[in-house]
A and B are shown apart, each in its own frame.
Chain A
Amino acid sequence: MSPAAIQVFDLCKNYPGVVALDNVSLRIEAGEFFGLLGPNGAGKTTLISIVAGLTRASSGHALVMGHDVVGDYRAARRALGVVPQELVFDPFFSVRETLRIQSGYFGLHRNDDWIDEVIANLDLSGKADANMRSLSGGMKRRVLVAQALVHKPPVIVLDEPTAGVDVELRQTLWQFVRSLNQKGHTVVLTTHYLEEAQELCSRIAMLKGGRLIALDQTRNLLRRLSGVRMSMRVAGDLPSEVAVHLAERSGDHVVLRLAGVGDVEPMLACLRQAGCIIEDLEVGHADLEDVFVQLMSEGRRDRLAA
Chain B
Amino acid sequence: MDPALDVPRPHAAAADTGTARPLADPASAAQPARATGFRTLLYKEVLRFWKVSFQTIGAPVLTSVLYLLVFGHVLEAHVEAFPGVTYTAFLIPGLVMMSVLQNAFANSSSSLIQSKITGNLVFVLLPPISHGEFFAAYAIASIVRGVMVGVGVLVVTVWFAPLTVRAPLWILVFGLGGAALLGVLGLIAGIVSDKFDQLAAFQNFIIMPATFLSGVFYSVKGLPPFWLAVSHLNPFFYMIDGFRYGFFAQSDVSPWLSLCVVLSALVVVTGIALRMLSMGYKIRH
Contact = CB atoms under 8 A, between A and B. Distances in A.
Interface of A: 2-3, 5, 30-31, 52-56, 65-67, 72-75, 77-80, 82, 84, 86, 88-93, 97, 101-102, 104-111, 113-114, 117-118, 120-123, 147, 149, 151-152, 154-155, 172, 175-176, 179-180, 183-186
Interface residues of B, number: 54
Nearest to B8: A184
Closest 4 pairs (CB-CB, A-B)? A104-B40, A107-B32, A179-B3, A184-B9
B7 A108 contact: no
Given A2-B11, A117-B5, A101 B128 contact: no
Query: Dominant SS at the A interface?
Result: loop
A104 B23 contact: no
A53 B125 contact: yes
A109 B32 CA distance: 8
B122 A113 contact: no
Q: Binding site of B, secondary structure by majority: helix, strand, loop or mixed?
A: loop
B11 A88 contact: no
B128 A74 contact: yes
A84 B122 CA distance: 8
A252 to B, nearest CB: 43
Contact of A107 (B3, B27, B36, B122): B36
Contact of B128 (A84, A102, A107, A176): A107
B10 A186 contact: yes
Given A56-B284, A78-B32, A105 B127 contact: yes
A107 B34 contact: yes
Contacts of A78: 20, 32, 128
Nearest to A5: B10
A114 B7 CA distance: 11
Interface stretch (B43-51, B73-81, B194-202, B240-248): B43-51
A16 to B, nearest CB: 11
Given A77-B127, A109-B30, A121 B15 contact: no
Nearest to A76: B128
A54 B41 CA distance: 18
B30 A111 contact: yes
Contact of B43 (A30, A55, A74, A104): A104
B274 interface: no
Given A106-B37, A114-B28, A123-B1, A2 B126 contact: no
Contacts of B123: 88, 90, 101-102, 105, 147
Contacts of A117: 4-5
B206 interface: no
Given A114-B28, A121-B3, A73 B48 contact: no
